[in-house]
Structure 1
Amino acid sequence: MSRIKQETRRTDRLTGSVIVVALVSAVSGLLYGYDTGIISGALLQIGKDFDIGHGWEQVIAASILVGAVIGALTCSRLAERRGRRGTLLLVGIVFVVGALAASLSPDPVTLSISRLVLGFAVGGATQTAPVYVAELAPTAYRGRLVLFFQIAIGVGIVIATIVGASEVIDWRVAIGMAAVPAAIMFGLMFRLPESPRWLLREGHADRAREALARVRHPESDLDEEFGEIEDNVKAEKQAKTRGWAGLKAAWVRPALVVGCGLAIFTQLSGIEMIVYYTPTILTDNGFSESTALRVSVALGLTYLIAQLIGLTIIDRVGRRRLTLLTLPCAAVALIVLGSFFVTGNDGKSMIPWIVATLIAFMAFTAGGIQLMGWLTGSEIYPLATRAAGAAVQSASLWGTNVLITLTLLSTMKAIGTGQTFWMYAVFNLIAFGFLYKKMPELSGRSLEGIERHLADGTFTPADLTRR
């Protein structure tokens, strides 16, 4: 047994190509976090430069999210038809063009259109990169590479908030800086092959085996792994329920309801109003710009730390349990936060308490439900409908994000800042009720086991209890 374990460690060790795969995963996540987070501090400068109000600020912030919906749906189909690698090369080019165009925009209209283009790349990357990485990575490293993507999102948000808080970097430079990692990702893609699984599905067996050999240790057992890929591709082609049409099947519907519901509630939790608009909300309520931007950095760091903790404990605690434990805590934090503003206790003397409550909310949300939005898309759907299901779930997440971003500042102006926080507290409680009734425990379950429960009609919290 010890000889077998030593052999496994020897043949599964990291190769140069796998390290490049990890970098592609990390850079794509970093770009997602940075490009969506940089607008938080930049809006303070953009509003002054273009002399615009909250209406235009909402459009500028939301345009990248509209593009992300389009990118997620378009690139999902493109990756299936033209390949994962080719799609990511296109995404890399769009990232560079979008970032540079946004940084050079002469007016809010051009800026909004440029961020729409940039959003296409964000949505395409978040849809395609995890699939590509999962199909290239050795089994022993697949989970860690997914972790890289998730953590890199938090790192991107932290960098964005630090850049914004510096107050010395012009917003054009801050937005344009995203072109650098995008160009790096584009360059790295030339060192990697197309997905062996996609090549095999398209009938290119020799090229698929060659691609697999490029990302494996020379002494790895290619025959065994290639045989498994062949079996999976054959099973997918023979499946009666497959692709986008397969999502309409009654037995798949419970997964779609849970997946899309979870994606929607990750946004209705209120995290995006904190990530995008914290400086704007705080300055509108009498905080200085410097204080507001420093708070934004603290929240970005909290997001990253909470994600790291959540990812460390998620398999021990369980996806369902962790989500249900943190949602009520996030709701309480929003209720307290809203009370400060409704009762007029939002002056300078209350700044430490307001900041502490914001950090508590961010910790419970980022370390709980925010982990589930992307994670479940890769595991909850049957194999033959997984790509389509993940695309719909991603579009649900981005679409909800668009609605929130387009309406948040107007809602605060109409009903009040504190009342808006209370409204999102209610959304958290509704999410708790929905997930308590609908979301089964997925931790510790194989993908095949989850699919069997769907097929048997036992995809419920009662049937999939954690053992």
Structure 2
Amino acid sequence: MSPRAQDTGHAGRFIQIVACVAAISGFLYGYDTGIISGALLQISDDFSLEHRGQEMVTSAILVGAVIGALICARVSRRLGRRLTIMIVAAIFALGALGAAFSPTALWLGVARLVLGFAVGGATQVVPTYIAELAPAGVRGRMVTWFNVSIGIGILAAALVGSFLQDLWSWRVMFGVGLVPATLLLISMIWLPDSPRWLVRQSREDEARQALARVREDQRAIEKEIDEIKQVQTREQQEGGWRAVLHPKMRPALVAGLGVAAFTQLSGIEMMIYYTPTFLRDAGFGDSAALYSALGVAVVYLIMTVAGKLVVDRLGRRRLTLLMMPGAALALLVLGAVFRLHEGGDGASSWLIVACILVFMIFNAGGIQVVGWLIGSEVYPLAIREQATSLHAATLWGSNLILTGTALTMVNALGTGGAMWFYAVLNVLGVLFVWRLVPETKGRSLEQIEQSLHEGRFRPGQ
């Protein structure tokens, strides 16, 4: 069945509903990580925060994300993907309320740690849940609803930060996260669980029922169940954390975790968090800096949608190799502009904005589209929970490193030198994908796993 055919009919429409509902967690991820940019000025005034206190409040969510990514693997394995997503939604709601009613900066940091746990848990389980339900031909478009939702969340946070500063307190900014969290929790009640997890629990009839809601062909359902059972037999012999270290798993782990790291080390969060800071340094006023940050969020969303539309046609590897060099070039030019015009003037200031937006076009439309998608595809079922948790933890750990060192890097190298450093990381990312990441488009999860076991998990195979 062609990918276009898989998008039509009741099953095709239902898998889109599943992907969109589960991806509400992506909106929460984008909003809860991005809203700190617009709220931090008010928070700093209310709690008289110095530089270190601001860093603590900002980075607490990233620490929580690493913890949540690691812990939710075991929860997902024991309770299933669907129930885990519901638990994550409840934690999102709790964290939003805790942040809104925080009496001190310390309590706010703790509340954002809780939000981070939910963010990390969502990034571990949601892409996997969608991938395990979606047909192979449209899996990329379905999983990347998660990326699109992240972009919508980032844009919503930027809109709030730009236009509601005088109307909403920072407590309201955090508290509104309760609404999508509750919507996600309630909506998941009516969705099926992962057929892969159901087969693992010896609930084959329920697995067939779950697949029947997202597949049109009964014979294809039986074939898929048989493939899942074959992989399941191998999992019983090879599964667990010990299997993660097995040499034959290494190519998948290297490819997946490397993509996870470069998704952040390429500089995306640096731009989302610190664009207003860079632009103020370049001579922009506060309002112009915030509006430019809003432009960054708009470009992120547009390019994520564009990448979603082409990722199943172009492929994950090819899309990354086409886009990432453009991001590196934009950072090289941006660094040169900062070096040549340290004080900032009208022409150089707007050139800086143009370079930032070009970087966002190539980064958001490339590796950001495939970062979570690759993590939902390449890991064998025997280690999928453990590996996806490592994938999310690697991504969030890289984010924490980048965010925690960005201003230090700027102070040490200058803004221009820091941009050149991140450009080099983008070049390294291109070389990594070219050498070590195979193409996964159009292949079932079981076919990808079989290529790993047969030693064919490499580019060109």
Length-normalised TM-score, structure 2: 0.89
C-alpha displacement of 1:242: 2.5
1:156 matched to which residue of 2?
153
Please give the alpha-carbon distance, in whole angstroms, between the structure 2 residues aligned to 1:320 and 1:444. Answer: 13
1:347 matched to which residue of 2?
344
Residues 222-251 of structure 1 show CA distances to partners (whole Å, capped at 9, x for unaligned) of 686256335513532334333332221212
C-alpha displacement of 1:158: 1.0
- Relative distance call for 1:80 and 1:333 in structure 2 (3 A) is same
Residue of 319, 325, 328 corresponding to 2:325: 328
C-alpha displacement of 1:255: 1.4
Please give the alpha-carbon distance, in whole angstroms, between the structure 1 residues aligned to 2:231 and 2:104. Answer: 52
- Relative distance call for 1:419 and 1:174 in structure 2 (3 A) is same
Q: Report the secondary structure of 1:374's partner residue.
A: helix
Establish whether residue 302 from structure 1 lines up as the match of residue 302 from structure 2: no
Residues 34-86 of structure 1 show CA distances to partners (whole Å, capped at 9, x for unaligned) of 11111222223323332223322222222111111111111111011122222
1:188 matched to which residue of 2?
187
1:408 matched to which residue of 2?
406
Establish whether residue 45 from structure 1 lines up as the match of residue 42 from structure 2: yes
1:57 matched to which residue of 2?
54
Matches within 5 A, 1:115-134: 115-134=112-131
Residues 364-420 of structure 1 show CA distances to partners (whole Å, capped at 9, x for unaligned) of 111112122111112222232233222211111111111111222233233322221
Q: Report the secondary structure of 2:247's partner residue.
A: coil
- Relative distance call for 1:131 and 1:449 in structure 2 (3 A) is closer
2:143 matched to which residue of 1?
146
C-alpha displacement of 1:209: 5.2
Please give the alpha-carbon distance, in whole angstroms, between the structure 2 residues aligned to 1:38 and 1:129. Answer: 22
Letter in 2 for 1:313: V
Please give the alpha-carbon distance, in whole angstroms, between the structure 1 residues aligned to 2:426 and 2:400. Answer: 18
Matches within 5 A, 1:250-329: 250-329=247-326
Length-normalised TM-score, structure 1: 0.88
Please give the alpha-carbon distance, in whole angstroms, between the structure 2 residues aligned to 1:85 and 1:151. Answer: 20
C-alpha displacement of 1:8: 11
Letter in 1 for 2:55: Q
Residues 252-275 of structure 1 show CA distances to partners (whole Å, capped at 9, x for unaligned) of 101111111111111111111111
- Amino-acid identity (%): 48
Figure out how many residues of one structure are paired with residues of the other and give that number: 455
Please give the alpha-carbon distance, in whole angstroms, between the structure 1 residues aligned to 2:13 and 2:92. Answer: 29
1:78 matched to which residue of 2?
75
Please give the alpha-carbon distance, in whole angstroms, between the structure 2 residues aligned to 1:105 and 1:14. Answer: 42
Letter in 2 for 1:81: R
Deviates more, 1:221-230 or 1:395-404: 221-230
For the aligned residues, what is the CA RMSD? 2.8
2:33 matched to which residue of 1?
36
Please give the alpha-carbon distance, in whole angstroms, between the structure 2 residues aligned to 1:216 and 1:330. Answer: 37
Please give the alpha-carbon distance, in whole angstroms, between the structure 1 residues aligned to 2:403 and 2:192. Answer: 38
Deviates more, 1:353-362 or 1:167-176: 167-176
Letter in 2 for 1:228: E
CA contact (8 A) 1:340 1:418 kept: yes
2:449 matched to which residue of 1?
451
Please give the alpha-carbon distance, in whole angstroms, between the structure 1 residues aligned to 2:372 and 2:6. Answer: 34
Matches within 5 A, 1:367-406: 367-406=365-404
- Relative distance call for 1:238 and 1:278 in structure 2 (3 A) is same
Segments of structure 1 that go 5 or more residues without pairing to the other structure are none
Deviates more, 1:139-148 or 1:278-287: 139-148
Residues 156-183 of structure 1 show CA distances to partners (whole Å, capped at 9, x for unaligned) of 1111111111132322211211111001
Please give the alpha-carbon distance, in whole angstroms, between the structure 2 residues aligned to 1:321 and 1:141. Answer: 17
Establish whether residue 433 from structure 1 lines up as the match of residue 431 from structure 2: yes
Residue of 207, 225, 229 corresponding to 2:225: 229
Please give the alpha-carbon distance, in whole angstroms, between the structure 2 residues aligned to 1:425 and 1:90. Answer: 39
Segments of structure 2 that go 5 or more residues without pairing to the other structure are none
Please give the alpha-carbon distance, in whole angstroms, between the structure 1 residues aligned to 2:256 and 2:318. Answer: 16
CA contact (8 A) 2:320 2:367 kept: yes
Please give the alpha-carbon distance, in whole angstroms, between the structure 2 residues aligned to 1:319 and 1:231. Answer: 24
Q: Report the secondary structure of 1:460's partner residue.
A: coil
Please give the alpha-carbon distance, in whole angstroms, between the structure 2 residues aligned to 1:342 and 1:274. Answer: 18
2:108 matched to which residue of 1?
111
Please give the alpha-carbon distance, in whole angstroms, between the structure 1 residues aligned to 2:356 and 2:93. Answer: 34
CA contact (8 A) 1:32 1:122 kept: yes
Q: Report the secondary structure of 2:73's partner residue.
A: helix
Q: Report the secondary structure of 1:411's partner residue.
A: helix
Residues 399-454 of structure 1 show CA distances to partners (whole Å, capped at 9, x for unaligned) of 11111112222332333222211211121122223223222333344444433432
CA contact (8 A) 1:136 1:195 kept: yes
Residue of 61, 64, 67 corresponding to 1:67: 64
Deviates more, 1:142-151 or 1:174-183: 142-151
1:360 matched to which residue of 2?
358
